[in-house]
Amino acid sequence: MKKLKILSVRLNGKPVGQLEQTKEGKLKFQYEDGARQISLSMPVESKRFGNMPCEKYFGGLLPESEEAKKAIGKNFDANPKSTFSLLRAIGHDCAGAISFHDPEDPVVQDALLETKMKPLSEAELEKHIKELPLKPLFMGVEGLRLSLAGVQEKAAVCVFEDKIAIPLAGTPTTHILKPSMSKYSGSVQNEYLCLRTATRLGLPVPDVKMSRAGKEDYLLVERYDRKFDEGKRIIRLHQEDFCQALGFREKYQRLGGPGFKDCFELLMKTRIPVIGRDLLMRAAVFNYLVGNNDAHGKNFAILYDVDGNSRLAPFYDILCTQAYDELTNDLCMKLGEHYDFKDIKESDWQVLCKTTGFSFPGLKKIISSLTEQVVVSVEEERNLLRKTEFDNPVLDKIVARVQQNAKILNKIK
């Protein structure tokens, strides 16, 4: 029997439109009457959208790794080159509140979905982590059909009463589990230290925890796009990354992706732009201080509340890339006139402010505040990990890099 080429697109379990794959393999999306908007790049007033905007938004929900797509295709008998086919296979739980279903699937809204999950033993969790390269997103486990964007091997899980569990019967996930990256020693400790330091500096970031299953270290990141209601049901909050919201397929500015100007302009469409723009500039300064050269358009997002009001989402995927000599010194988004971190001068921060319409005196206040706090904060967080099972030499490299970057940035206070 030939498969239907239509998927029901749902928000919090409620149908909002249909995604169709044409005979030519192109995508088409059409909103239902009275539906809530799913993306700033796909305004509900326009009603219908063709292949390119569909690929930019819907394709942005899938893993980026070609190897991961091939593994998903093999496991689900799906075409790894087809966004439609992959979403049919794993699109039951995605970033934000969106999900994809066969049109005849029962409609169950999040608020009525019974929470079901199966706790994992330490041995089971270790096994699943080890199998991630061959089974991305823990696919094949208890019929999981969920998707996460990005390149890194990771999985989405539920955490309930401090136990890691596999969601059942369509239950949304609550946390993202990120194992240590084999190419980059101490990546778990690296991201943990950066996010904990950000918390100390008052930046909005998810709660994180380091743990170990057998010999496998992992970082457990609480999803900001999920919450528990009074009945302990998991409610999804909608979100979209900046590339999706702006209609970019490429995430790196040098290759055609968004730059700071695009990002600051996007925040003018949020409910309280001045708050989001101030936070984004703080994030730009913080990423400079911790040596995170990999802050691109998919590492920032817009978060929507249940009424559809938008704001800048908490920051995520922050780690010190400068701790690894083999990684590039180029920034993903040009700062002023330069991509190369070593070339950034005070004039580049001035250009950044001019380009984005941000006050340079306001930026100098942010720099003064963060540089005063960041060195003490990162040192305190690093010291808390000494003589623990998670101590790692990369932590000292990060502290040294923060000290060096703060010294440079202090010159323009």
Same domain, 60 and 168: no
Residue 51: which H helix or E strand, with range? helix 51-58
- Report whether pLDDT(3) > 70: no
92, 124: one domain: no
Q: Same domain, yes or no, for 341 and 295?
A: yes
Q: Give me the torsion for CA of 15, 149, 246, 197, rounded to 10°.
A: 120
What number is the average pLDDT over the span 238-259? 97
Q: Examine the domain organization and report whether 251 and 302 are in the same domain.
A: yes
Among 48, 81, 103, the domain-final residue is: 103
Say if 82 falls within a structural domain. Answer: yes
Among the ranges given (95-104, 223-232, 303-312), the one the predictor scored with the smallest mean pLDDT:
223-232
Residue 68 has pLDDT above 80, yes or no: yes
What percentage of the chain carries pLDDT values higher than 70?
97
139 and 63 co-located in one domain: no
φ and ψ at residue 259, rounded to 5 degrees: -115, -175
CATH of the domain at 397: 1.10.1070.20
- pTM, entire model: 0.95
Structural domain includes residue 53: yes
228 in any annotated domain: no
Provide the number of structural domains found in the chain: 3
What domain range is 43 assigned to? 6-103
Residue 49's pLDDT is what? 98
Type and span of the H or E element at 179: strand 175-179
Same domain, 64 and 173: no
At 233, is the pLDDT very low, low, confident or very high (cuts 50, 70, 90)?
confident
- Reported as a single tens digit per residue, the pLDDT across 22-59 is 999 999 999 999 999 999 999 999 999 999 999 999 99
Q: Does residue 229 lie within any of the structural domains?
A: no
Of 170, 192, 222, the domain-final residue: 222
Same domain, 16 and 152: no
Calpha distance 311→353 (Å, rounded): 21
Give the DSSP letter string of 270-287: SSSHHHHHHHHHHHHHHH
**Rounded Cα–Cα distance for residues 288 and 223 (Å):** 25
Residue 215 lies in a domain: yes
Cite the beta strand spans of 245-354 per DSSP E: 301-304, 310-312, 330-335, 338-340
Residue 298 covered by a domain:
yes
Is the pLDDT at 140 greater than 80? The verdict is: no
CATH number of the domain to which 185 belongs: 3.30.200
Does any domain span residue 356? yes
**Residues 167, 307 share a domain:** no
Q: How far apart are CA 255 and CA 332, in angstroms?
A: 9
**285 and 153 assigned to the same domain:** no
pLDDT at 1 over 50: no
CA distance 5 to 15: 17
Beta strand pairing call for 310-312 and 301-304: antiparallel
Is 215 in the same domain as 364?
Answer: no
In-domain check, residue 173: yes
Q: Which among 103, 121, 137 is the end of a domain?
A: 103
pLDDT band (50, 70, 90) for residue 126: very high
Choose the weakest-confidence range: 69-83, 197-211, 284-298.
Answer: 69-83
Instruction: Give the highest mean pLDDT range of 154-163, 283-292, 302-311.
Output: 283-292
State the amino acid at position 227 in one-letter form: K
Residue reference for tokens 């249909």: 18
Q: How far apart are CA 107 and CA 372, in angstroms?
A: 52
CA 262 – CA 267 distance, rounded (Å): 9
Domain check: are 244 and 369 in the same one?
yes
Residue for token digits 């989402």? Answer: 313
Q: What is the mean pLDDT of residues 150-156?
A: 82
Mean pLDDT of the region 398-412: 95
In Å, the largest CA–CA distance within the chain is 69
How far lies 391's CA from each of 188, 375, 377, in Å? 11, 19, 17
225, 294, 343, 348: the catalytic one is 294
Told to judge if 340 belongs to the known catalytic residues of this protein, a careful annotator would answer: no
